[in-house]
Amino acid sequence: MKRWQFWFGLAISALFLWLALRGLRLQDVWSSLQQANFLWLLPGIAVYFIAVWARAWRWHYLLRPIKPIPTRTMFPIVAIGYMGNNIYPARAGEVLRAYVLRRNEGVSISASLATIIVERAFDGVVMLSFVFLNLREVAGLTADSRFAGSIRDLAIWGTALFFGAVLVFLLMAIFPKQTTRILRWLVERIMPKRWREQSLDLIERFLGGLASLRSIRDVGMVLLTSVVIWLLETGKYWFVMHAFPFEVSFFTLMLMNGVVNLATTIPSAPGYLGTFDAPGIAVLEAYGVPGEIAAGYTLLLHAALWLPITLLGAFYMARASLSWRQIQAEMAEESTS
């Protein structure tokens, strides 16, 4: 609570919530939620948990060159990571699941983080493909010309970022010796002597975490799994939509999924408050959905994405007798040793 990052994220979330709800009649938003058919949440949540299982399988696949770990072992750790991202700032859940994996399976945190960063890069590529699939249709929307321009800008900058990241990771994986030589040269000239050995060790472990990218087959499998994961998550959007009196195409929901998840890369309060909701409502309004219904749907969808996996992750964390304070203390001790 004392960190400036937390308050900065909170301010960003407040701004996005204001953008999301300005001009809407909150009484009508509440009315749309009251009239929703909540039974449609059940298949949506079920599909979402299948997507989380697929994420656990993908992580198991990326970690195979380091250590083969069954998907059933990875699933609770992935759930803990989701819980961490949802309730702690700065996507702390990614570090949290790397820590739990090290604690349970002995995989170094730096190698785990390498695979997690690769996951995020591939996720970004798939989300951008969802946007590009709908870009021509978006350009034809007349409800809000600024909306189409914003989507195009988001797609262009996002493409440069995520495709660039994937390319860098592929080159680092394919040419590990050359990468090590370049990074060693940088470390020896930039880092103080007392940190050089530790930095070089972290680099070596990080490159070990990229080993799965040395095979074209493995890269294709990771990309295919990422597509399946995001299609399943879009399935949740589709099921929850049936709880409300509107209908858009599955492709529109793919666009919404891509846009809101790209927007959640913006720093915000824990749980992506505001950064998820404002762009989601804007996408639906651009497709003719009344604002109050779009807001009710987006807020309920956000809650359905947040609450079940957070509760499951908290359960697994409690079962492992872990606390965030304990983890912080152990990692701080490691960093100073």
With b meaning 16 or more CB within 10 Å and e meaning fewer, what string describes 154-172? bbeebbeebeebbeebbeb
Q: Nearest Cα to 227, choosing from 254, 253, 250, 252?
A: 254
How many Å apart are CA 103 and CA 107, to the nearest integer?
Answer: 8
Quick one: tokens of 113? 């983080």
11-27 confidence digits (pLDDT tens): 999 999 998 888 899 99
The CA-atom distances, in angstroms, between 111 and each of 64, 169, 205, 212, 317 are 12, 13, 5, 11, 22
Q: What is the pLDDT of residue 208?
A: 81
Q: What is the pLDDT of residue 145?
A: 45
Q: What is the pLDDT of residue 1?
A: 46
pLDDT, tens digit only, all 337 positions of the chain: 457 777 888 899 999 999 888 889 999 999 999 999 999 999 999 999 999 999 999 999 999 999 999 999 999 999 999 999 999 877 889 989 999 999 999 998 888 999 999 999 899 889 888 888 887 777 666 545 455 556 767 777 777 788 888 888 888 888 888 888 898 888 888 888 777 787 877 788 788 888 888 889 999 999 999 999 999 999 999 999 999 999 999 999 999 999 899 888 888 888 899 999 999 998 998 888 999 999 999 999 999 999 999 999 999 999 988 887 777 777 666 555 4
Helix, coil or strand: residue 142: coil
Q: What is the pLDDT of residue 68?
A: 94
DSSP designation for 3 = S
Instruction: State in Å, rounded, how far the first CA of the chain is from the last one.
Output: 26
Instruction: State the Rg of the chain over Cα.
Output: 21
The CA-atom distances, in angstroms, between 118 and each of 62, 210, 259 are 9, 8, 20
- CB-based burial of residue 106 (10 Å sphere; 0-12 exposed, 13-18 middle, 19+ buried)? exposed
How many Å apart are CA 12 and CA 306, to the nearest integer?
Answer: 19
Q: What is the pLDDT of residue 8?
A: 83
How many Å apart are CA 138 and CA 132, to the nearest integer?
Answer: 9
Q: What is the pLDDT of residue 331?
A: 67
Q: Which residue has the tokens 């996005």?
A: 16
Tell me, rounded to whole angstroms, the distance of Cα 286 from its chain centroid: 24
Pick left, alpha or beta for residue 215 (phi over 0 → left; psi -120 to 50 → alpha; otherwise beta): beta
Q: What is the pLDDT of residue 141?
A: 64
Contact between 252 and 234 (Cβ < 8 Å) = no
Q: Supply angle C-alpha 322, 109, 113, rounded to 5.
A: 110
